[in-house]
Amino acid sequence: MDIQNTAVDAVKAQPTGNKPLNRPIKLTLQPTKSLSWLLRGLQIIIALSLASVSFAQTELIMNGGSIYTDLGKDQFAAALYLETQQKNPNTAHSMAGEKRMEVRVLNNYSKRRWFNLWMQSISINNSRESFSESAQDLMTLMQAAKSAPQKGDFIEYLSSPDQGTSMRFNGTELVAGLPGEVFDLLLNTWIGAIPPTTSFKDEILGKQRNPEAVDLLDRVTTDPQRVDLAASWIRPPEPVAEIVAKVKPEPANKEQLKVKTAVSAKPKVLPESLENQPVAPKTATVATAALTADEPPAVTPKAEADSKNTKTDSLAKTSAETASAAQEVAADTEDEVDFSIAEALAMRDYTPLVVQAIFKKIRYPSRAIDKGYEGTVRMSIVVNKSGVLEKATVAQESKYSILNKAAIKATEKAAPFPELPAALNTNQFEITVPITFKLQ
């Protein structure tokens, strides 16, 4: 429909009285009342049409939802939204259209713990090359929020064919225009080769239903102060009038002069040059490739004689409740943490090395094979600077204790691990390792 020509025809159709019909009508004159109503009606129709088209383009349906649990506590509820329901992970990745990942935080996080959670999972679910190419964009995404995630926060990662990858934190868009590949890296952490658990992946893909996750996404609300805080991060600072006051300094007495002289005499300690720091070793190519196969590297049925004298090391007896409480304290008392590209790349290289070493030591218990036991055990381990295993905790158990013990045993047998890269800049490094036992 040619709206411009229709408006001209409507003008020509107006009665002209006794004036000649062939008199030209100037559109610059004040339009008649009927013409104004006609043009107004056309504007409304056009606006409604555009709104309906826009709504149709952005309307998504929940593909599935799940809950991420760690150390015996629900950490966040997650949901994937697509334009059409998809149960195949490859199709969910390759399909065109808009996509959205939603996260409702259920427990306080520290910046460090949140950063490690995502970066480690991205490392073991994507190729080394794709991680490296998007490292800067991932850093931009992960550092966009100026505060660590707190209970009730609502985080959205969005993908659009036209606008790329964006992120909203409590309703405020903090990042926009990143490449679409960044969203794919994030999505792989949920539906890739090594998800948090097999049930988490199945629920996100809609193969299983988790009504509790859907309820938490809707029922848990965001603190209004957190909403205002997120909005303030992109709000331009208010101009402050500069006031210069001339104050005549008071003469210092002799005692003050002595104190100042003593303080100024202290030598300044300067940090070492960053150029002297050792470079993180690049030795994870084979391990990463092995971890990013099309199928999850689940433990296949390799029968092993069950030992009657199975011993559980004191490392595995660490209380999950104690570890969880310590993490909550860290979240409440954290300092400002800055992350670098070098640290992200070092984490990318080191994490698959540890995971691969543990996978090589896993044996499917013969009794579990006979009984048809399957499940995922997620281990939380702490490695010191020398690669020594300092702590091993079952962050999320399977239904079967025999599988839990097999995961603990594999973790302990895999130690010690390689030394921590200097770029990680830490004396201890915590890694989460999902171990899936699956019969074929």
Domains and their CATH numbers in the chain: 60-230 (3.50.70.10), 278-437 (3.30.1150)
Q: Return the pLDDT at 42.
A: 61
- CA 235 remoteness from chain centre: 23
CA angle, residues 261, 263, 264, in degrees to nearest 5: 65
Q: At CB < 8 A and 24+ separation, what contacts does 178-184 make?
A: 178/137, 178/140, 178/141, 179/134, 179/137, 181/130, 181/133, 181/134, 182/134, 182/137, 182/138, 182/141, 183/99, 183/101, 183/157, 183/158, 183/159, 184/93, 184/159
Q: Which helix (H) or strand (E) holds 369?
A: helix 366-371
Give per-residue pLDDT as tens, 81-133. 999 999 999 999 999 999 999 999 999 999 999 999 999 999 999 999 999 99
Q: Return the pLDDT at 144.
A: 95
Amino acid of residue 367: R
DSSP string of 189-255? Answer: HHHSSS-S-HHHHHHHTTSS--HHHHHHHHHS---HHHHHHHHHTTSPPPP--------PPPPP-HH
Q: Return the pLDDT at 235.
A: 86
Structure-token match 């049930």, residue found: 199
Asked if 433 contacts 358 with a C-beta cutoff of 8 angstroms, the reply is yes
Q: What are phi and psi of 129, to 5 degrees?
A: -65, -45
Q: Return the pLDDT at 13.
A: 42
Q: Return the pLDDT at 34.
A: 61
| Regions in the chain scoring below 50 on pLDDT | 1-21, 23, 25-29, 47-48, 50-57, 243-248, 252, 254-297, 301-335
